[in-house]
Amino acid sequence: MSETELLQEPVGEDDWSAAMTEQGAAAETAPAVEAQAQPARIFPQFADDSPKAEHLQDFDLILDIPVQISVELGRTRIAIRDLLQLAHGSVVELNAAAGEALDVLVNGTLIAQGEVVVVNEKFGIRLTDIVTPSERMKKLNR
Protein backbone atom coordinates (compact mmCIF):
# COMPACT_ATOMS: atom_id res chain seq x y z
CA MET A 1 0.00 0.00 0.00
CA SER A 2 1.50 3.37 -1.00
CA GLU A 3 2.01 6.29 1.38
CA THR A 4 -0.70 8.27 -0.45
CA GLU A 5 -3.21 5.46 0.05
CA LEU A 6 -2.30 5.29 3.75
CA LEU A 7 -2.87 9.01 4.16
CA GLN A 8 -6.28 8.84 2.49
CA GLU A 9 -7.51 5.79 4.44
CA PRO A 10 -9.69 7.08 7.30
CA VAL A 11 -8.82 6.04 10.82
CA GLY A 12 -11.95 4.67 12.40
CA GLU A 13 -13.27 5.53 15.83
CA ASP A 14 -12.62 1.90 16.82
CA ASP A 15 -8.89 2.30 16.10
CA TRP A 16 -8.58 5.37 18.32
CA SER A 17 -10.82 3.80 20.98
CA ALA A 18 -8.59 0.73 21.01
CA ALA A 19 -5.50 2.91 21.35
CA MET A 20 -7.03 4.82 24.25
CA THR A 21 -8.08 1.55 25.93
CA GLU A 22 -4.57 0.20 25.47
CA GLN A 23 -3.14 3.38 26.98
CA GLY A 24 -5.49 3.03 29.97
CA ALA A 25 -4.51 -0.60 30.48
CA ALA A 26 -0.81 0.29 30.35
CA ALA A 27 -1.35 3.06 32.90
CA GLU A 28 -3.08 0.64 35.29
CA THR A 29 -0.23 -1.88 35.16
CA ALA A 30 2.56 0.71 35.41
CA PRO A 31 3.44 2.20 38.79
CA ALA A 32 1.57 5.45 39.33
CA VAL A 33 4.16 8.21 39.24
CA GLU A 34 1.61 10.94 38.66
CA ALA A 35 -2.12 11.14 39.24
CA GLN A 36 -4.29 10.22 36.27
CA ALA A 37 -4.47 13.00 33.68
CA GLN A 38 -7.29 15.39 34.38
CA PRO A 39 -8.75 17.98 32.02
CA ALA A 40 -6.97 21.30 32.34
CA ARG A 41 -8.90 23.91 34.29
CA ILE A 42 -7.85 26.81 32.09
CA PHE A 43 -11.24 28.41 31.63
CA PRO A 44 -13.13 30.13 34.44
CA GLN A 45 -15.93 28.11 35.99
CA PHE A 46 -19.50 29.37 35.56
CA ALA A 47 -20.90 31.19 38.58
CA ASP A 48 -23.46 29.23 40.58
CA ASP A 49 -25.75 32.24 41.10
CA SER A 50 -27.17 32.19 37.55
CA PRO A 51 -28.94 29.35 35.71
CA LYS A 52 -26.52 26.92 34.09
CA ALA A 53 -28.84 26.34 31.14
CA GLU A 54 -28.40 30.00 30.11
CA HIS A 55 -24.60 29.65 30.18
CA LEU A 56 -24.74 26.42 28.21
CA GLN A 57 -26.87 28.11 25.55
CA ASP A 58 -24.27 30.88 25.25
CA PHE A 59 -21.51 28.29 25.06
CA ASP A 60 -23.36 26.36 22.34
CA LEU A 61 -23.03 29.40 20.05
CA ILE A 62 -19.28 28.87 19.67
CA LEU A 63 -19.12 25.06 19.54
CA ASP A 64 -19.43 24.89 15.73
CA ILE A 65 -16.75 27.50 14.99
CA PRO A 66 -13.92 25.74 13.13
CA VAL A 67 -10.36 26.16 14.37
CA GLN A 68 -7.10 25.02 12.80
CA ILE A 69 -4.95 22.72 14.92
CA SER A 70 -1.35 22.23 13.84
CA VAL A 71 1.61 20.45 15.36
CA GLU A 72 5.02 22.04 14.94
CA LEU A 73 8.15 19.92 14.91
CA GLY A 74 10.55 22.87 14.79
CA ARG A 75 11.52 26.04 12.95
CA THR A 76 14.50 27.48 11.15
CA ARG A 77 15.51 30.57 9.18
CA ILE A 78 17.34 30.27 5.89
CA ALA A 79 18.26 32.69 3.14
CA ILE A 80 16.30 32.65 -0.09
CA ARG A 81 19.54 31.57 -1.84
CA ASP A 82 19.61 28.41 0.30
CA LEU A 83 15.87 27.85 -0.09
CA LEU A 84 16.19 27.85 -3.88
CA GLN A 85 18.94 25.21 -3.67
CA LEU A 86 16.74 22.70 -1.81
CA ALA A 87 16.10 19.53 -3.77
CA HIS A 88 14.72 16.05 -3.24
CA GLY A 89 16.70 14.51 -0.35
CA SER A 90 17.87 17.85 1.08
CA VAL A 91 18.03 18.06 4.86
CA VAL A 92 16.85 21.19 6.65
CA GLU A 93 18.11 21.60 10.21
CA LEU A 94 15.43 22.66 12.71
CA ASN A 95 15.82 24.37 16.07
CA ALA A 96 14.22 21.47 17.98
CA ALA A 97 16.23 18.59 19.43
CA ALA A 98 15.34 14.97 18.75
CA GLY A 99 12.90 13.65 21.35
CA GLU A 100 11.80 17.15 22.36
CA ALA A 101 8.08 17.77 22.88
CA LEU A 102 6.15 19.02 19.85
CA ASP A 103 4.16 22.26 19.99
CA VAL A 104 0.39 22.07 19.48
CA LEU A 105 -1.03 25.30 18.07
CA VAL A 106 -4.66 26.34 17.66
CA ASN A 107 -5.05 29.12 15.11
CA GLY A 108 -1.33 29.81 15.52
CA THR A 109 -1.41 30.06 19.33
CA LEU A 110 0.54 27.57 21.43
CA ILE A 111 -1.91 25.71 23.67
CA ALA A 112 -0.11 22.47 24.51
CA GLN A 113 2.89 20.24 23.98
CA GLY A 114 2.87 16.56 23.22
CA GLU A 115 4.51 13.48 21.79
CA VAL A 116 3.87 11.61 18.56
CA VAL A 117 1.82 8.41 18.65
CA VAL A 118 1.02 6.05 15.79
CA VAL A 119 -2.36 4.34 15.58
CA ASN A 120 -3.15 2.05 12.65
CA GLU A 121 -0.30 3.59 10.63
CA LYS A 122 -1.64 7.13 11.21
CA PHE A 123 0.08 9.82 13.25
CA GLY A 124 -1.53 11.42 16.28
CA ILE A 125 -0.30 13.41 19.24
CA ARG A 126 -0.63 12.64 22.95
CA LEU A 127 -0.78 15.86 24.96
CA THR A 128 1.79 15.96 27.74
CA ASP A 129 1.50 19.58 28.87
CA ILE A 130 -1.26 22.20 28.59
CA VAL A 131 -0.19 25.85 28.39
CA THR A 132 -2.23 27.95 30.83
CA PRO A 133 -3.45 31.44 29.90
CA SER A 134 -1.04 32.97 32.42
CA GLU A 135 1.90 31.15 30.78
CA ARG A 136 0.73 32.44 27.39
CA MET A 137 0.69 36.00 28.75
CA LYS A 138 4.26 35.60 30.09
CA LYS A 139 5.44 34.56 26.63
CA LEU A 140 3.74 37.57 25.06
CA ASN A 141 5.51 39.93 27.47
CA ARG A 142 9.01 38.72 26.43
pLDDT in tens, 24-80: 666 565 554 455 556 666 666 655 555 555 666 777 788 889 999 999 988 899 999
Among 41-50, 61-70, 86-95, 115-124, the minimum mean pLDDT is found in 41-50
pTM of the model: 0.53
125 closest CA partner among 71, 66, 73: 71
Q: Select from 55, 51, 54 the least CA-distant residue to 43.
A: 55
What gap in Å lies between CA 24 and CA 32, rounded to an integer? 12
Question: What residues does each domain of the chain span?
Answer: 3-30+42-140
Say how many C-beta atoms besides its own lie within 10 A of residue 132's C-beta: 13
Total length of the chain:
142
Q: How confident is the model at residue 112 (pLDDT cuts 50, 70, 90)?
A: very high
Q: Residue 62: what pLDDT?
A: 85
CATH superfamily of 3-30+42-140: SpoA-like (2.30.330.10)
Give the count of beta carbons closer than 10 Å to the beta carbon of residue 142: 4
Supply the DSSP string of 64-107, one letter for each residue: T----EEEE-------HHHHHT--TT-----SSPTTPPEEEEET
